[in-house]
């Protein structure tokens, strides 16, 4: 199993330690190598919290998260940073591209902390940008790009280090129907080709339909195990 989230609880607390709201209650989720999973549910149900826990951007109050059988809670901060950089790729609703950098430079940012042959990294970046139709605009900055182009750039950036897991939080939420369909088609095609597992948080039934498995998060609990 690639990722296992076991009996995780997460609450938000006040400055004085009082629980304000329990977001996740004994939530468990398993993701296989190459599996595409959708997490649906109403706003405020904890979908983004669950995604952040999977990517170690946040930590549970109780329970454990294992990656390829190894618990992530035992890692120090340097180990967690390496895990995020090498094993996971993030795609958010807002692309989070750095406005002062070109498309090409934005794509290469995650590779800066990785060791290895720079030529192979550049070759991979070129290949992904050509495949996604972005190569000819690689020297433009985010302010000169459309929303769809920015999101496709974010996908390439997420994949540049060949992660085993992509975490996408409402990746099509800011796009129109045509661009949303193009983006999710791109994500799933690249996931299939590279055997990259994917967890997608979405409100869209159309996006969820592209996934292998669909869950609903409601009242702090995860329901369903439906093949997409």
Whether residue 68 is predicted with pLDDT greater than 90 in this model: the reply is: yes
Please give the pLDDT value at position 117.
Answer: 83
Instruction: Quote the DSSP letter at residue 198.
Output: E
pLDDT tier, 105 (very low <50, low <70, confident <90, very high otherwise): very high
88-91: strand order across its sheet: 88-91, 165-169, 197-201, 36-40, 213-218, 221-227
pLDDT tier, 227 (very low <50, low <70, confident <90, very high otherwise): low
The answer to whether the CB of 138 falls within 8 A of the CB of 129 is: yes
Whether residue 228 is predicted with pLDDT greater than 60 in this model: the reply is: no
Whether residue 115 is predicted with pLDDT greater than 60 in this model: the reply is: yes
Sign of CA dihedral 208, 211, 216, 220: negative
* pLDDT: which is higher, 52 or 74: 52
Please give the pLDDT value at position 44.
Answer: 86
Which tens digits make up the pLDDT trace of 122-132?
999 999 999 99
CATH superfamily, region 3-227: P-loop containing nucleotide triphosphate hydrolases (3.40.50.300)
Please give the pLDDT value at position 225.
Answer: 61
Please give the pLDDT value at position 74.
Answer: 79
For the chain, percent of residues with pLDDT exceeding 90: 78
Instruction: Quote the DSSP letter at residue 170.
Output: S
Average pLDDT, the chain: 92
* pLDDT: which is higher, 20 or 159: 159
The answer to whether the CB of 72 falls within 8 A of the CB of 150 is: no
Whether residue 150 is predicted with pLDDT greater than 60 in this model: the reply is: yes
Stretch among 3-7, 27-31, 77-81, 144-148 having the lowest mean pLDDT:
77-81
pLDDT tier, 226 (very low <50, low <70, confident <90, very high otherwise): low
CA distances for 188 relative to 122, 166, 184, 196, angstroms = 23, 11, 6, 9
Please give the pLDDT value at position 38.
Answer: 97
* Other Cβ atoms closer than 10 A to 9: 15
CA distances for 63 relative to 19, 76, 83, angstroms = 17, 18, 19
Distance CA 143, CA 187 (A): 23
Task: Say whether 194 sits in a helix, a strand or coil.
Answer: helix
* pLDDT: which is higher, 93 or 134: 134
Q: What's the rounded mean pLDDT across residues 63-71?
A: 95
Q: What's the rounded mean pLDDT across residues 29-52?
A: 95
């Amino acid at each position: 199993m690639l990722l296992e989230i076991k009996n995780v609880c997460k609450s938000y607390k006040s400055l004085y330690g009082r629980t304000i709201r329990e977001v996740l209650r004994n939530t468990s989720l398993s993701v296989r190598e190459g599996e595409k999973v959708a997490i649906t549910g109403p706003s405020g149900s904890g979908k983004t919290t669950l995604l952040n826990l999977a990517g170690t951007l946040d930590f549970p109050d109780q329970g454990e998260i294992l990656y390829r059988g190894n618990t992530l809670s035992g890692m120090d901060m340097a180990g967690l940073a390496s895990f995020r950089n090498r094993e996971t790729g993030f795609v958010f609703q807002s692309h989070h591209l750095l406005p002062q950098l070109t498309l090409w430079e934005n794509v290469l940012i995650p590779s800066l902390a990785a060791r290895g042959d720079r030529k192979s990294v550049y070759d991979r970046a070129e290949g992904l940008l050509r495949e996604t139709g972005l190569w000819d605009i690689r020297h433009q900055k985010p302010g000169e790009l459309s929303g769809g182009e920015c999101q496709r750039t974010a996908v390439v950036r997420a994949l540049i280090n060949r992660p085993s897991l992509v975490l996408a939080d409402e990746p099509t939420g800011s796009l129109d129907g045509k661009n949303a369909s193009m983006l999710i088609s791109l994500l799933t095609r690249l996931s299939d080709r590279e055997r990259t597992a994917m967890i997608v948080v979405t409100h869209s039934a159309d996006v969820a339909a592209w996934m292998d498995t669909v869950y609903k998060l409601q009242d702090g609990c995860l329901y369903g195990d439906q093949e997409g």
